[in-house]
Structure 1
Amino acid sequence: MGLTFKKTYTFAVVSTFYITLFSTSLVALLLLFFAKFSLPFCAIFAIGIAFFSFFVIQYRVEHFIYRRVKKIYDDVSLLDSTTLRTQSITTDMATLTREVKKFATDKKIEIENLKVREEYRREFMGNVSHELKTPLFTVQGYLSTLLDGAMKNKELRKKYIERAEKGVERLIYIVEDLDMISKLEMGELNLEYSQFNIVELIQNVFDLLEMSADKKNIILMLDRKYNKPIYVNADKEKIQQVVTNLVMNSIKYGKENGTTEVSIEDLVNNKIIVRIRDNGEGIEKHYIPRLFERFFRVDKSGARSEGGSGLGLSIVKHIIEGHDEKIYVESEYGIGSEFSFTLEKFE
């Protein structure tokens, strides 16, 4: 750590002036009363005492301040060796005050972030245990029943094994989503860009989810007939997952005999926006800011009865932001919701 002194010496100059004025006046009076008064002698004496006083005061004051300021730096640096340790020590009180205030502000922000992370960790662990507990207990229950004697009943045995299998499938689904969200949050989203027809991809998602939609008699449709393909530049597999999750959500929370409509619109700067719109139950306004949080569910009981890991929208958000794109949500309770995201258009 180097030593940096302030270039202005106001304190030393003012102190020197008073000392010089007093000393010169005293010598002049002594010469006047006890010897012959000499102006040149007084001038030389004043200059000499001024220089001597200035350097002595300047050195002593700065050395005095430096030692105490250095102790402050050393004490504070024990808390964080990566910030103040790399800076030169300054004896300028304004600079020191500014640096210490900045350090205190940074520490406060860091502490607040740690509190948020700790709260998230507790909530995350609680949510994970809650999500895993239901299918685990379900599987355990069916297997215990089989071991207790139901194994002999062929019809009951088959039914319980099938239900246990569904519980295992749900566990695998949750674990896979947990693995994906962990990789996404650690920045391990490896995107493989390619050019593909987004209209064809949406139609493929409709085909995959047709049976789920039929159970609630929900119609999956495009807003119009797209005669020409619309090519985008993105990771096809990841975007298909985004569309699948959003359409699946619209089915899950949609009304019986409802519709899910997807539209594709041109934006400026060579962008398109994909809109997934439904006429389902909608979302209350105070829930919207939390929709993309992990495990957040608007209707806790209803959502769990429909399945899913509670991580779908969080995964969607990470994938879209990983493409440097935006995702939006608009909803009116009792009327329906619209999720939309942008993509780069490929000409």
Structure 2
Amino acid sequence: MDLSLFWMIAFLTLCIFALSFIVLQYRVERFIYRGVKKIYDDVSLLESTSFQDQPVTTNMQTLTEEIEKFANNKKVEIETLKIREGYRKEFLGNISHELKTPLFTVQGYILTLLDGAMDDKQIRKKYLVRASKGVERLIYIVRDLDMITRLEAGDLHLELENFDIVELIQGVFDMMEMKAHKKDITLTFDTVYKKPIMVHADRERIQQVVSNLVVNSIKYSKASSTTEVSIEDLVKNKVIVRITDNGEGIQSQNLTRIFERFYRVDKSGSRKEGGSGLGLAIVKHIIEAHKEKIYVESVYGVGSEFSFTLEKTKESTKV
């Protein structure tokens, strides 16, 4: 055989082999690509665009790592959804209970009056007063639900202004004086603030925050105890307001959930104090709407401290 013919045949063979390898490699890659993508699509592990702008590989280790990565991510998402589903069911149960109790109370008193008790002036007045309290409770719940819905949707417009936070807190103390007096609870500052501490926020909403926190402090504090408020510099342009009580405190397992709607630490006793059960959730949303932070620290059986930050004005006097 001619040597040149031999090399030509060898070269053609090599070319055919290389071309066959490339074609086979491409076909294998496309087969694996379609197979794996179909698996992802079928189990909804990936979006349809997940493979776009990514090189296709036949490396099974890489594919396995990617599948494990996405599977782990989805596992975390599924666990989170299960937790949220549990919260949702609990929330629906709570709101059902919160609305059902005053509704049934009002209905019971009205039906009793319609059944003949209305003829007795003494009973009529007593039952109408009790029905009125039930309606008032419903109004609290509906009003607070409306507010928290607007807060969560970002529809609540804040009227930002400069005001003295010391004066605002003192005003809340004056409003809550009678409520605190019934339990012999002292409302006080940690020191005498001789000069104003000016902050930039929505005065009405911050008053609502302080009022809700002071009311909670009174509600859960022991008789003959103290609720103390302090105002401290946090950083150059921030102050932190601390509201501290020596009440019953909050158990650690409840601390992460106390700002949820209708979540109650005391599942029975707290309802006797009235309110909508949305106070702390509203407080959290108002503070976050100001782009500020709220914190809670508590030792069960010792007391609790709620604190939140506010922006100082330039002319504010340091504490």
Give the TM-score range, shorter chain. Answer: 0.7 to 0.9
What letter corresponds to residue 294 of structure 1 in structure 2? Answer: R
User: Which among 18, 27, 30 is matched to residue 66 of structure 1?
Assistant: 30
Aligned pair 1:53/2:17, yes or no?
yes
**CA distance 1:196–1:280, change in 2 (3 Å):** same
Deviations 1:138-186 (A, max 9, x none): 1111111111111111122111111100000001111222222333334
Give the length in aligned residue pairs: 311
Instruction: Give the deviation of 1:323 after TM superposition.
Output: 2.1
2:214 to 236, 243, 247: 247
Residue in structure 2 matched with residue 114 of structure 1 by the alignment? 81
Question: Which 10-residue stretch deviates more, 311-320 or 248-257?
Answer: 311-320
1:10-49 correspondence runs (5 A):
35=1, 38=3, 40-49=4-13
In structure 2, C-alpha distance between the alignment counterparts of 1:115 and 1:284, rounded to whole Å: 24
Confirm or deny that 1:238 pairs with 2:202.
no
Identify the match of residue 91 of structure 1 among 32, 51, 56.
56
Provide the residue aligned with 1:146 in structure 2.
Answer: 113
Residue 284 of structure 2 corresponds to residue 317 of structure 1: yes
Helix, strand or coil for the counterpart of 1:276?
Answer: strand
RCO comparison, higher one (Cα < 8 Å, 6+):
2
Indicate the residue corresponding to 1:272 in structure 2.
239
C-alpha distance in 2 between matches for 1:279 and 1:103: 48
Judged with a 3 Å threshold, the aligned counterparts in structure 2 of structure 1 residues 81 and 250 are, in CA distance, closer, same or farther, namely closer
State which of 130, 133, 144 in structure 1 corresponds to 2:97: 130
2:192 alignment partner, SS class: coil
1:306 aligns with 2:273: yes
Distance 1:117 1:283, change over 3 A: closer
Q: CA 1:127 to 1:62, structure 2 compared with 1: closer, same or farther past 3 Å? A: same
Secondary structure, aligned partner of 2:268: helix
Could you tell me whether the CA contact under 8 Å between 1:146 and 1:157 is conserved in 2? Answer: yes
RMSD of aligned alpha carbons: 2.3
User: Where does structure 2 lack aligned partners over 5 or more consecutive residues?
Assistant: 315-319
- 1:96 Cα offset (Å): 4.2
Q: Matched residues, percent identical? A: 58
Residue pair 1:90, 1:96 contacting (<8 A) in 2 also = no
Q: Separation in 1 of the partners of 2:79 and 2:248?
A: 37
**1:47 to partner: Cα distance:** 3.4
Specify the code of the residue in structure 1 equivalent to 2:93.
G
The 1:109–1:81 alpha-carbon spacing in structure 2 relative to 1, beyond 3 Å, is: closer
For 1:192 and 1:66, the matched residues in 2 are separated by 60
Report the Cα distance in structure 2 between the residues aligned to 1:175 and 1:220, rounded to whole angstroms: 30
Alignment-derived partner of residue 162 in structure 2: 195
Which amino acid is 1:62 matched to? Y
Structure (1 or 2) with the larger CA radius of gyration: 1
SS at match of 2:263: coil
